């Protein structure tokens, strides 16, 4: 009996020693693995280098010296055991694997920023950094109304703005470069969450001496023989204007000036180069007291666009986005 008990204790001691040894090996493997993971700072250096393809410009973006950034990139190349960028005296060319890792790094950094936002968002809405994208046919007309309210009511909000076309904004929301975008809906074909905010009717913009300027409301069919000026391709407002006109039987007479802003198109109308469709929200800024321009509403069914927000379905910042939506809606109630 005593012999059996002694044997059992010996086996138990042996098992305990093996368990401790196994734990030491596993912990060693874990610490070695952690040691060779890239840091978020190094990944930010890589992202900046991929964006600029220039060490000095990348260093400026990261607010570090060029030598610090260069050292960080070299450390990454040691960790990954690959060449991330080809260096010459005058330029930097990202290698194919360098580009792929930079793309992955952008998603990782976006996720890290989301993690940081989690704690601030639960404490108070619209706190910390928020990256908002806006299309050019909304930004100059709505932002001046939104920003003062955001600044007054949410002083701890660090708002970063991005103005570009719809397709680019959708891609940047999807891959995490920006958090949310303000544009015309529908936009993402179900890939992203979409929240409609308000309707923005289209108006006809004419020179003050044009026959249609004498009408109280415009029959869209009468545009068939008119010269219609539109924004360059890529702007969703151009597509919406063409879609409306086509439904009304107007399928020709469109002219693209290569203009990227409604301001340019409006000035071309004032110079008697043609007519255009103008979103109602742009009337105050683009027409104002300009007596050479006239806006007229269309007859029913009135053309309109739906203004709204898009964001990722996996976001942790729903409270932020709902607060932002309320601020934007409030500008339409004034």
Work out the percent of the chain whose per-residue pLDDT is above 70: 85
Split at pLDDT 50, 70, 90, the class of 178 is: very high
Rg of the chain over CA atoms, in angstroms? 29
Q: What is the pLDDT of residue 120?
A: 61
Residues in the chain: 334
What was the pLDDT predicted at 121?
Answer: 58
pLDDT for 218-259, tens place per residue? 998 888 888 888 888 778 888 888 888 877 777 666 666 667
Output the pLDDT for position 19: 46
pLDDT of residue 112: 86
Residue with tokens 């409270």, as numbered in its chain: 319
- Nearest by Cα to 146 from 123, 168, 169, 130: 130
Q: Where do runs of H (alpha helix) occur along 136-277?
A: 139-153, 166-174, 236-247, 262-270
pLDDT mean over 168-182: 95
pLDDT over 50 at 55, yes or no: yes
- pLDDT bin (cut points 50, 70, 90) of residue 66 is very high
Confidence of residue 135 (pLDDT cuts 50, 70, 90): very high
| Cβ atoms of 224 and 250 closer than 8 Å | yes
- Strand ranges in the chain using DSSP code E only, listed in sequence order: 85-87, 92-94, 128-134, 157-163, 180-185, 193-207, 228-230, 254-256, 276-279, 293-297, 304-311
In 3D space, the residue among 215, 223, 228 whose CA is nearest the CA of residue 265 turns out to be 228
- Please say whether the beta carbons of 117 and 165 come within 8 A: no
Q: What pTM was estimated for this model as a whole?
A: 0.67
Q: Give the dihedral of Cα atoms 77, 78, 83, 84; nearest 10 deg.
A: -10
- Domains defined for the chain, CATH in brackets: 40-107 (1.10.10.10), 126-334 (3.40.190.290)
Between 146-150, 259-263, 277-281, 323-327, the lowest mean confidence (pLDDT) is in 259-263
**Residue 323 pLDDT > 50:** yes
pLDDT over 80 (residue 3): no
- pLDDT for 298 beyond 80: yes
DSSP 39-77: PHHHHHHHHHHHHHS-HHHHHHHHTS-HHHHHHHHHHHH
How many C-alpha atoms does 169 have within 13 Å on its Cβ side?
Answer: 28
Comparing CA positions, the residue from 199, 150, 159 lying closest to residue 178 is 159
Q: What is the mean pLDDT of residues 172-195?
A: 94
Joined together, the tokens standing for residue 298 give: 């269309």
Average pLDDT over residues 39-68: 93
- Rounded mean pLDDT, 171-197: 94
Most confident of 180-189, 221-230, 259-268: 180-189
């Amino acid at each position: 009996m005593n012999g059996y008990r002694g044997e059992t204790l010996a086996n138990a001691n042996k098992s305990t020693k093996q368990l401790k040894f196994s734990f030491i090996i596993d912990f060693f493997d874990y610490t070695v693995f952690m040691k060779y993971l890239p840091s978020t700072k190094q990944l930010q250096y890589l992202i900046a280098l991929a964006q600029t393809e220039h060490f000095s410009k990348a260093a400026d973006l990261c607010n570090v010296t060029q030598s610090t950034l260069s050292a960080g990139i070299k450390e990454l190349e040691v960790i990954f055991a690959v060449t991330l960028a080809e260096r010459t005296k005058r330029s930097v060319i990202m290698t194919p694997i360098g580009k792929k890792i930079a793309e992955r790094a952008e998603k990782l950094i976006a996720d890290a920023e989301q993690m940081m936002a989690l704690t601030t968002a639960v404490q108070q809405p619209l706190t910390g950094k928020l990256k908002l994208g806006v299309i050019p046919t909304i930004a100059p007309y709505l932002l001046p109304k939104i920003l003062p309210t955001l600044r007054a009511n949410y002083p701890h909000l660090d708002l970063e703005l991005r103005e570009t076309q719809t397709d680019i904004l959708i891609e940047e929301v999807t891959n995490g470069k920006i958090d949310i975008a303000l544009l015309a809906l529908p936009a993402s074909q179900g890939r992203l969450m979409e929240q409609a905010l308000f309707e923005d009717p289209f108006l006809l913009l004419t020179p003050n001496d044009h026959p249609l300027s004498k009408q109280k409301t415009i029959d869209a069919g009468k545009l068939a023989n008119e010269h219609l000026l539109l924004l360059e391709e890529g702007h969703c407002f151009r597509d919406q204007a063409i879609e409306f006109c086509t439904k009304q039987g107007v399928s020709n007479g469109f002219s693209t000036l290569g203009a990227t802003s409604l301001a340019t198109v409006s000035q071309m109308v004032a110079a008697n180069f043609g007519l255009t469709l103008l979103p109602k929200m742009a009337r105050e800024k683009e027409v104002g007291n300009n007596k050479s321009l006239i806006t007229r509403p269309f007859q029913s069914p009135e053309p309109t666009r739906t203004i709204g927000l898009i964001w990722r379905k996996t976001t942790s910042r729903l409270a932020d986005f709902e607060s932002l939506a309320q601020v934007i809606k409030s500008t339409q109630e004034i």
